[in-house]
Amino acid sequence: MPLSKAKGFSLKTQIYGLVIFLGIISFIGTLLVSVEHTKEYLNEQMGSHAQDTATSLGLSIAPYLASEDIIIVETMISAIFDSGYYAAMVLTDTDNQSVILSKEAPKTVEKVPNWFIDMFPLSPPTRESKINTGWRIAASLSVTSHAGASYYQLWQYAIKAFAAFAIILIVSLVLAYFILNTVLKPLSRVEEQAIAVSKKQFNINTKQSFTRELNVVVSALNSMVDNIQKNFTSLTNQAEQYTQEAYVDKLTGLGNRRAFENQFTHHLSEIESESVGTIILLELPSLQHVNQSQGYQAGDNYVLQFVDMVNQAFNNNSEVKFYRINGGSFIVAIPLPISLCQNELQQITSQFEQFSSEDYPNSFAKHVSVAYQKSDTLKALLIKLDTLLTERASTLQTEKNITESDQGISLGLQDWSTLINELIDSGHIEFLVQPVRKCELNNDSTTNNSFIEKPFYNELLAKFYYKKEIIPNNQLFAMAERLHLTEQLDMKLITAAASLVKTTMSAAIAINISQQSLLSTNFCQWLTHFIAENDQCRHHVYFEINEIALLKDIELASKHIHQFKSLDIGICIERFGTSLTSFKYINGLDLDFIKIDGSYIRDINKDIDNKSFVQAVNQICHGLGVKVIACHIENEAVLNVVKEINCDGCQGEFIQAPKALYVS
């Protein structure tokens, strides 16, 4: 949210709040520990007291037990018992296990509140002494102390401790107030400059304060502002050059084999177990012939013509991934079952046949496809595709797909339309929540996973139910996009999530919005009216926008993002880096966060190139005042690297797994 509107969350207020919070926590913790320690001491004291009484009284009554003078025995036990320090005394014959004498006192405790007794329960122990008459054990005497006196002592101690610790707390807070007020007062000018920087207005602060540390900060900010444009241009060029060399095919601009392996392996790890997708292997069998007979320029034109055909066929689905894994081999990955990709497959098959001629003796292009799911491995899928391609070459088949009929939801296009419309009207949503935590370098390895501060925000993950069955999100939103229904789905999600703001959630919430919503003027108008009726959402909602959706129409997307910001909605660009394009677009956007795609984070502790990429993104974004989030952190080694390279936020199973929150 804009810093200029965050009046209730100033640094001064946060520091005061933190000091008060820590003071109160310390006060409560110290008081509880002190009372608990005293309680344990009293328990031990009662046990010792009971044992001493049992031993001494047993020795005293032993001669009278030998002479069977029970009246004197009873008199002596009653004299001790009536002192009021005992809850029970039982004299038992060890020969026939019968009770000779039993005394019990009421367990009532006077002058001590019941809630205090419930909070700090004492457990009066029972101690036993064996009574000998000559060489024989004649009886057993058990003594149980009464908790009344101990409860009274504990209550009196708690009152005195509370008063003493409260005085210390008040004095400490008063001193902290005067000290912090003196230190923080000159920060107003620094705050003004920070607000300007947050709006991407890089102004120089010419005023100096009397505080040396603040002057250092002002000088550092001025230096940053003075160099930011130069640094941005330089760092962006370096990052783009690195990305092009490491992950992009130079001719087509598609991701290369390395990008495919990173992104698709990560995609397999994050999809739902119920989800089914399609992976297509496309080959240019005549590429070598064209290169040899017509020259490499003709071969390049052949490749570019083929890429343009495939892009046009799959243009309606923003989730489609297209890669060139080697010279004449390409991969397309789609988060939909094969049965729902038939139109695209038939389209490219028809186009390939139209372009087949004598110039392409081995045919213009061939393709085979198989279904994939979460349990598959990349290696097994590639082997299956290669086998299919070989079989097709030997049998002259025009197309062959492998489907797994029992996986996922098997529905036709019309069925999907009906299902999605029913979900929009009356479908059930289960929200899961996963926080984005502040990421700080800590040398103490034992506290790497101890995140006690308020998170940047909590990302809401939605699960849709239809006839009590979970619908895989990848398939649902891919089909909704094809049917132009994602905008309505987003509206339903936002409406359902709005009730969580300030009630269920302790921090802001983040909602993923689709490409259609981002580029829709109608959605912006609806959102304006919605926020006006749900003012609690201001400053408490973030939109996470897929980078590929943003790049579909960067000018229109930028316009709508500014409208979102005017409604006090924060913006995060997610899956940053998957488009493998220029980063310069972020300079003109008022962004709050950049979330780097998990394919760069998953093995960052093992892959030096991924680490270098993330470092470059950090430098670029930090120069613009945009925070960087590393997601899909699944182990401590990855978290340590993310901290080391100064990412701002972290998210993943190792930080906190998604947990169920709310069912609408």
- Give the sign of the dihedral formed by CA 342, CA 344, CA 348, CA 351: positive
Residue 322 above 90 pLDDT? Answer: yes
Q: Is the domain of 354 the same as that of 458?
A: no
Q: Is the domain of 209 the same as that of 268?
A: no
Task: With H, G, I as helix, E, B as strand and everything else as coil, classify residue 657.
Answer: coil
> Which DSSP string corresponds to 385-412?
HHHHHHHHHHHT-S--EE--TTSS----
**What is the enclosing helix (H) or strand (E) of 351?**
helix 342-355
Residue 398 above 70 pLDDT? Answer: no
pLDDT band at 177 (very low <50, low <70, confident <90, very high): confident
Residue for token pair 């969580």? 500
Per-residue CA distances from 142 to 41, 87, 126, 622 (Å) = 22, 11, 7, 73
**Which pLDDT does position 206 carry in this prediction?**
77
Give the CB-side neighbour count of residue 570, counting CA atoms within 13 A: 27
In a domain, 238, yes or no: yes
Count of domains in the chain? 4
Domain boundary, last residue among 402, 424, 442? 402
Q: Give CA–CA dist 170/19, Å, rounded.
A: 12
Q: Where are the beta strands (DSSP E) in 177-305?
A: 276-283
CATH of the domain at 287: 3.30.70.270
Beta-ladder partners of 254: none
CATH of the domain at 155: 3.30.110.200
Q: Give CA–CA dist 593/600, Å, rounded.
A: 17
Q: Cβ distance 275 to 408 under 8 Å?
A: yes
Q: Is the domain of 135 the same as that of 226?
A: no
Q: Is the domain of 212 the same as that of 269?
A: no
Task: Give 98-110 pLDDT, tens digit per residue.
Answer: 777 888 877 777 7
Residue 450 above 60 pLDDT? Answer: no
Q: Of 523-527, 605-609, 621-625, where does the model show the most confidence?
A: 523-527
Q: Is the domain of 306 the same as that of 212?
A: no
Task: Give 2-21 pLDDT, tens digit per residue.
Answer: 455 555 567 677 888 888 88
pLDDT band at 530 (very low <50, low <70, confident <90, very high): very high
- Whole-model pTM: value is 0.63
**Which pLDDT does position 445 carry in this prediction?**
43
In a domain, 82, yes or no: yes
Q: Give CA–CA dist 267/657, Å, rounded.
A: 17
Q: Is the domain of 473 the same as that of 368?
A: no
Residue type, 652: G
Q: Do the bridges between strand 86-93 and strand 136-145 make them parallel or antiparallel, or are there none, so unpaired?
A: antiparallel
For residues 175-193, one letter each, b for 16 or more C-beta atoms within 10 angstroms of the residue's C-beta and e for the rest, the string is: ebeeeeeeebebbeebeeb
Q: Which two tokens stand for residue 432?
A: 């899961």
Neighbours of 104 (CB within 10 A): 12
Task: Give 88-98 pLDDT, tens digit per residue.
Answer: 888 888 766 77
**What is the enclosing helix (H) or strand (E) of 59?**
helix 11-66
In a domain, 42, yes or no: yes
**Boundaries of domain holding 289:** 257-402
In a domain, 264, yes or no: yes
Give the CB-side neighbour count of residue 548, counting CA atoms within 13 A: 14
Beta-ladder partners of 277: 372
Beta-ladder partners of 471: 464
Selection from 277, 368, 261 nearest residue 323 by Cα = 261
Q: Is the domain of 372 the same as that of 430?
A: no
